[in-house]
Structure formats: structure tokens, C-alpha cells
Amino acid sequence: NAGVMQNPRHLVRRRGQEARLRCSPMKGHSHVYWYRQLPEEGLKFMVYLQKENIIDESGMPKERFSAEFPKEGPSILRIQQVVRGDSAAYFCASDRGDTEAFFGQGTRLTVV
């Protein structure tokens, strides 16, 4: 049973480009959470999704950021027109709704 899979592990983008981060949850998990971690800080909640539904996006910036979890395929976190301040580690977690969340290894986004 593979764990939560995130790709890519490292992503470098120039300012103004788009970043797409992918997350495949653990088998049997229908809940996906995205978190952002700035250097030397804890994680900050961004968005909570179930299949084809955004349940809670209260932690996600209103502009440039979007997330989806389609019926088929991985969850995608999309950042348009990236800026230097978007440089961070982005973690995806999955669970069945009321158990511990299992994390992927994260995508480290660097904006140059």
C-alpha cells in the first residue's frame, strides 16, 4: 500500500510562471489536505478537499491559488503567476476523515 505520493519533489519556477503540484492520496483515503510550510515554521492549512468538492479553502489565498481533486486522478494545487513569496514546502496529507493524516514527502517550490 503506497503512501501519499507527491510530485515533483522539487520545483523551480521563474516569477510569473505557473506551478502545478500533484498529490495522490493513500488507497482508500477520500480526504485530501494541502498545507504550506515556510522555512523555520510550522505548517499552515490551505485547503481541504474530497472527491470533486472543495470542503474548506479558508487557508488559501484568494488570488492565484486554486486546488482540485477530480473524480479520477490526483489532487492538484495550482499557483498562477508565482512570486518569490510563494517559495515554500507544500505538503499534501490524506485520511479517511477522522483518523490521523498521512503526509506525502512534500514539494519544495523555489521561485527565482
- Does 52 bind other proteins (CB under 8 A)? Our answer is no
- Specify the amino acid at residue 56: D
Q: Specify the residue, 30 or 81, whose C-beta has the smaller distance to other proteins.
A: 30
Cα radius of gyration rounded to whole Å, the chain? 13
Q: Which stretch binds other proteins (CB under 8 A): 18-26, 42-50, 69-77, 79-87?
A: 42-50
Residue type for position 103: F
Q: State how far the alpha carbon of 73 is from the alpha carbons of 5, 44, 68, 83, in Å.
A: 12, 25, 10, 27
DSSP character for 84? G
Min CB(16)–other proteins separation in Å: 26
- Under the rule (CB under 8 A), what is the footprint of other proteins? 31, 33, 35, 41-45, 48, 55-56, 59, 89, 91, 93, 95, 97-98, 100-103, 105-106, 108
